[in-house]
Amino acid sequence: MTTDQIAAATTVHMPALGESIEEGTITRWLKAPGDRVEAEEPLLEVATDKVDTEIPAPVGGVLDQILVEEDSVVAVGTALATIATDSGAASPSPALPAPPPPHLPATAPEPPPRSPTPDPAPEVNSPPPPATPDPAQPVAAVSGATAEKLPRIRRTIAQRMVESLQISAQLTSVLEVDVTAIAALRAQHKNEFLARTGVKLSFLPFFAKAAVEALATHRMLNASLNPEITEVTYFNHVHLGMAVDSDKGLMVPVIRDAHTLTIAGLAQAIADKADKVRTATITPDELGGGTFTLTNTGSRGALFDTPIINQPQTGILGTGAVVERLVPSRRDGNLTINVRSMAYLSVSYDHRIVDGADAARYLTAVKHKLENGFNAHDLI
């Protein structure tokens, strides 16, 4: 935190919030002038186009002045507030007294004389005119609904989703996969895995590992197309974005060099990023630079989804809920029906650079890895 010591007061400045972030929005002050604040105690909340974060007080003392109001957009380095330190700075200026009420006469003035009225009978029988809503009145006040200001992170998500659909031609392909072997592997090793790594063994790191490995031979889904649509960049590394649901909204932290990680490494990285998002400790630098994204829509019970691409990427894989179903199969001419653990995989892709056949081949590669490619050795 950058601070300037001036006499017995400390000026709080907008800190650097990430490598490419130059400004932020003051969303909420957590303290008011006159409030006591301890060093490193959260003082205000700031939102950027990537993350919401809390700014701590650099020193202990009394909040003297707030220099920037809520909803203001300010640049990095801007003075936000002053804190009177314990060495004796002046406390906040007292509020000005309210002006006295105007003098009221002792008796109310005589009302103006009433004009003659028609016979009261027609007035009694006539229904009152229907009430018409005031066009200037908010919809919520008229209909009884509740209007709430949209949080900045929700506005950012909305803007990015619309922009993504406007920028690229998006299409989704869906495939079904049998993960019965992985379910058995998890059941056999989950307790040992938790004791060794400190994280639970879910289906997600298996999906992530299969998705990342398949990108090595399907480069068009681990790529970026320039705005002029004249050049494509194929990445030799996989920086895997993981969509994480939180109370404040959807965020996509990035696991760097995911192609170098084992199942255990991916499980730990996924848990770490998710925890940072949900505890509001994720940094803006951890939310950028992804080359491909995985979204686990099945974590809330969805069978499959049609996810929207995280620009400027060319693909995003959605994993549906794993459910047990009766599945028929035929071997040597004999039809059998067994209970299998099944899931849907859906990949949304940029049709400007990825064809439907490319997407189908990628999903087939992921399916093959999930159905045949894992054993106990992969959990080490």
State the catalytic residues. 351, 355
Task: Answer for the pair 210, 223: CB distance below 8 angstroms, yes or no.
Answer: no
Could you tell me the two tokens for 131?
A: 């009430």
Measured in degrees and rounded to the nearest 5, phi and psi for residue 197 equal -105, -20
